[in-house]
Amino acid sequence: MFLRLFSYFTSFLIGYLIGSFPTAFLLVKQRTKRDIREEGSKNIGAMNAFEVTNSKLIGSLAMIGDLLKGTLAVAIVMVLFGTEQQAPILISGVCVVLGHNYPVWLKFKGGRGLSTTAGVMLVVCWLFVLLWCAVWAVVYKLVNDLHKANIIASAISPLGLFLLPENILRFSIPSSIFPETAIGLAISVCILILLRHQEQIRDIVRSHN
């Protein structure tokens, strides 16, 4: 019992602390001396890093850094605790996105979790990332709105993953990870993404009333 609780708590710490590393904030600060929290959308994600600096290099580095946070957190926990227990994988995956979205170092004002979620799911279920990107591309083509595409892709993609035939789903996840773990993690991290789009969701609702 103690070892199980230890693995849960350690997975939480690893996920949250890695996730809360403010990649875009530090990149922009180091290269331009500007505070990304005070400009553009004021979040510390890769997109705002690009918009604030107008630098594809900084935006790309921020995106890659945020993606690697998700991959690293889950991979470390899988190495430390194996995969016999699925809970540490879930905990680390959720908490690394939580840390990115609400970093303790920046008064809990972070990014929207898109790149970090991609990093998590590339380890757990790479097909989810393809599915999310496909839905996003279709929606963006139809509405030409970045935030609507983010919201709809994050709302629909976990359902799409749930509806996939089991043999296809199993093909896209490591043999040691249960399909239920992949689906549960996809739902959880997408909820965190949607929570960071609350303002945009309210705007969409108001525009249709």
Report the 3 state secondary structure along 41-76: CCCCCHHHHHHHHCCHHHHHHHHHHHHHHHHHHHHH
Q: Pull the structure tokens for residue 73.
A: 């957190």
Q: What is the C-alpha to C-alpha distance for residues 121 and 74, in angstroms, rounded to an integer? A: 9
User: Given a cut of 80, is residue 54 above it in pLDDT?
Assistant: yes
- Summarize the confidence of residues 84-90 as an average pLDDT: 91
pLDDT at residue 42, rounded to an integer = 83
Domain that includes residue 39, residue range: 2-207
What are 104-160's pLDDT values in tens digits? 999 898 999 999 999 999 999 999 999 999 999 999 999 999 999 999 999 999 999
Q: How far apart are CA 162 and CA 169, in angstroms?
A: 9
Q: Percent of the chain, pLDDT > 90?
A: 75
CA distance 190 to 155: 7
> Tokens standing for 163?
């509806």
166 pLDDT higher than 90: no
Query: Can you read off the two tokens belonging to residue 77?
Result: 């926990």
Mean pLDDT, residues 51-73 taken together: 94
Quick one: pLDDT at residue 208?
A: 73
Amino acid at site 100? H
- Looking at residue 1, the DSSP 8-state letter turns out to be -
pLDDT higher than 80, residue 13 = yes
Average pLDDT of the chain, as a whole number: 93
Number of separate domains in the chain: 1
Query: What pLDDT, on a 0 to 100 scale, did the predictor assign at position 97?
Result: 98
208 vs 65 pLDDT, higher one:
65
Give residue 157's pLDDT: 96
Cβ atoms of 191 and 159 closer than 8 Å: no
List C-alpha distances in Å: 129 to 22, 110, 122, 190.
23, 22, 7, 12
**Contact (CB, 8 A) for 165 and 159:** no
Lowest mean pLDDT among 77-81, 82-86, 135-139, 146-150: 82-86
- Structure confidence at residue 3 as a pLDDT band (50, 70, 90): confident
Q: What is the pTM of this model?
A: 0.94
